Every structure is written in structure tokens, then in C-alpha cells.
Structure 1
């Protein structure tokens, strides 16, 4: 599993990177917020570990950027800033875990392993298999295929969750429009969202039948 580590202190960053690699993780590193954003844009990660006070743009801005990309990747904040206002900002932005500096590497291992177990455990009762090879976690709203995470937009996730709610039955386009978006979009928009989900997953991820609509292949 792949982790992005944002930390501007070189020695501190290398120490954490080497430790995480020793316990089996692949680690990509960034020394400033802008570099982290570029790597998030170009790569898929299972966890983001972000320092807050870094050059270029802050860790909080990196979190905002990740959320604008509709990423569901869990985020751990690693910082010496622990007053209640800073913590509130982090959690409001979608932080899943706080780790106060300085910390013991054994604590880092525990917290990273726990996040990975919570979000990616194969025996999770909230994990649903779709089209034989894709696993959808209904808690964190992520789709994985092996070690690859598939990122969907908010409307694509809305569509997926409604089809999951109606699993076993075909759902008409009119029902999707009225139940999900209250006629804010039209049938062409629905078809576009289905097409994009299939492009990101597989052609048989969502099944369709003329006159009946769409059904999730679970």
C-alpha cells in the first residue's frame, strides 16, 4: 500500500519514510505543499500523512485540494500544532487521525496500521464486491481493485450508492433523476455519469437493459 508523506524537515522525513518502508509500505515523499498537491494529482495513495507548517502551501491547503479532487483517501495530520482551533480546522477539512510531534515510531506504526485496517480490510463487513474484482467500502465510500483506488466524483458516488440501495433491481433514468437530483439534470447527464463510472471501472460494473434502466453488478 502506498503512502504520501509531506514533511519539510529532511532528516525527520527520511527517518519516517525508512521506518514505514521497513514495515512494508511504499512511501512517496514531498518537502512542500505544492509538491504534495502535484503528487496527489498524478498518483493514487492509500494514506496521506501531512505536516501542517510546510513551505509553499500549508498542509491544510493540501487537504482542501485533495477534497476538491473528491478523493476519499484517509488523512493523518502529523504536527506540533495541537490547540483546539487547529484540531477543529483539521477535522472540519476531513482529517481522520492526529499524531502529535514528537512521537514514538511504534505509535506511528499502530496508527497507520489501524487506518489501513479500517479503510481497506478485506474482511470488513461493509465491503461489497462489484463485477467480481472491485471492492466498495460503504463506510469510507472508496472503490478498490487490488491495490488501486478508483476515485469517483460526488455525483458518481450518489449514483453508485442509490444503485446499491436498489441492488437486484433495475432502476429507471426517471427514478434516478427524481430520487437523487430532483430534476436538476436530464437523462443525458445520467448516461454520462454511467459512462464515466464504467470508464473508471469496467463495462460490466453497471448493467443496463433497454426500457428497464440500470443495475449494479453485485
Structure 2
């Protein structure tokens, strides 16, 4: 699970980042609001942790930017601000959790874990992450990027599911033709399906290697 941490205090940023990484989270950091917005535009995160009083633009402005992109990622605010008006602004902008500085790292651990459980049902093995930024639900057969569903045809979905069964290994075209439904009987048909999957996702979604076939990293 990937977290973006916005914090301008170096010591706070380093200690929180290192602690969250020790718990198994993938952590990106930003020292100011503009840097955070740039990273949000380019990456998919499962949790935002924002300080409010940061350089360039405030954490509140970053929250507005998140909402303008229709991103539903949960947001935790950590701040020394205790004024009720500041708290009200945070919740009105979509804050899901409020952590007052100073705090114990153990408190952050439990609050982060609860948000992950609530919003992602962590431990649900039906969720598979592909290329680190795509989420595939093996139960509902939905694939999403930034909470937006990607529509695949039946043939494209069958190839995706088979590559996931063989995840981490290259699969030859002959094997795909033999094992996966009615996809066509020649390599041109398979390549066309894979090309369309890449067009709907990214060129690195399915990796190819001459002589070995195709592989998906999940």
C-alpha cells in the first residue's frame, strides 16, 4: 500500500517515513504543497498524510486539488493547529482522520491501519495490484486506475486472468492460444488483444520478451 506524506519538518518527515516503511508501507514524501500536487498528478496512492502549515501552498489547498481530480483516497491530517475552525475546514474538505502533533508513532500506526482496513479491506486476497498502480478485483473482475474502472472485452479479460495465474513468468503465445478460451487461432489475434490492453492501461502493464512471450507483474 502506497502513502504520500506531506511534511516540511525534516526530522518529522524522516522519522514518520522510516517508521511507516518498517511497517511495510511504500512511502513517498513531499516537503511543500506544490511538490505534493505534482506527485499526486503522477502517482496512485492509498493514503494521504498531510501537514497543513507547509510552504508554497497549504495542506488545505492540496486537499482541494485532490478533490478537484475526483480522487477518493482517504486523507489523514497531522497538525499542531487546534483551533476548531481549522479542524472544521479539514473535515469539510474531506479529511478522514485528524492526528494532533505531537503524537506517538504507535498512535499513527493504529490510525493508519484502521483507515487501510476501512477503505481497502486489507487482507482481502481478491485485490491484486498490477504494475503498482492498477487494482484488479478477482472476485468482481474490475480493474481500476485512480478509482476509475477500465473496461476490457471478454477476450482481453481472459488473457489478463491467465497471465495473473502465471504472474512473474513469461507465457508464450502458443500456450495462451491453447489455454485461454476463444481468442483466435493465430499469434496476430493474441498480439491484437494485448495491444488493446496496453492502449487501455500502459505499455508496461504487460511486458514482452522476444522468444519468451508475455508477462505481467502483480
TM-score range, shorter chain: 0.5 to 0.7
| Partner residue, 1:2 | 2
The answer to whether structure 1 residue 203 and structure 2 residue 199 are counterparts is no
2:71·2:146 contact (CA, 8 Å) conserved in 1? no
In 2, distance between residues paired with 1:135 and 1:96? 27
In 2, distance between residues paired with 1:10 and 1:70? 30
User: Which is greater in Rg?
Assistant: 2
**CA distance 1:122–1:31, shift in 2 (3 Å):** closer
Aligned-residue CA RMSD (Å): 2.9
The answer to whether structure 1 residue 112 and structure 2 residue 108 are counterparts is no
Q: Give the TM-score of the pair, scaled to structure 2.
A: 0.61
Structure 2 unaligned blocks of 5 or more: 128-135, 157-218
| Partner residue, 2:188 | none
2:36·2:62 contact (CA, 8 Å) conserved in 1? yes
1:203 to partner: Cα distance = 3.1
| Partner residue, 1:62 | 62
Match of 1:150 among 146, 149, 153: 146
2:80·2:102 contact (CA, 8 Å) conserved in 1? yes
1:46·1:149 contact (CA, 8 Å) conserved in 2? no
1:2-81 superposed matches below 5 A: 2-81=2-81
In 1, distance between residues paired with 2:99 and 2:38? 24
1:108 to partner: Cα distance = 0.4
Structure 1 unaligned blocks of 5 or more: 138-142, 153-196, 206-218
**CA distance 1:201–1:97, shift in 2 (3 Å):** farther
The answer to whether structure 1 residue 134 and structure 2 residue 130 are counterparts is no
| Partner residue, 1:183 | none
Query: Counterpart of 1:81 in 2: which secondary structure?
Result: coil
In 2, distance between residues paired with 1:68 and 1:93? 11
1:150·1:201 contact (CA, 8 Å) conserved in 2? no
1:2·1:46 contact (CA, 8 Å) conserved in 2? yes
In 2, distance between residues paired with 1:122 and 1:99? 21
1:134 to partner: Cα distance = 2.7
Query: Counterpart of 2:20 in 1: which secondary structure?
Result: helix
1:5·1:27 contact (CA, 8 Å) conserved in 2? yes
Aligned residues: 148
In 2, distance between residues paired with 1:136 and 1:40? 28
In 2, distance between residues paired with 1:72 and 1:136? 21
1:33·1:56 contact (CA, 8 Å) conserved in 2? yes
1:24 to partner: Cα distance = 0.6
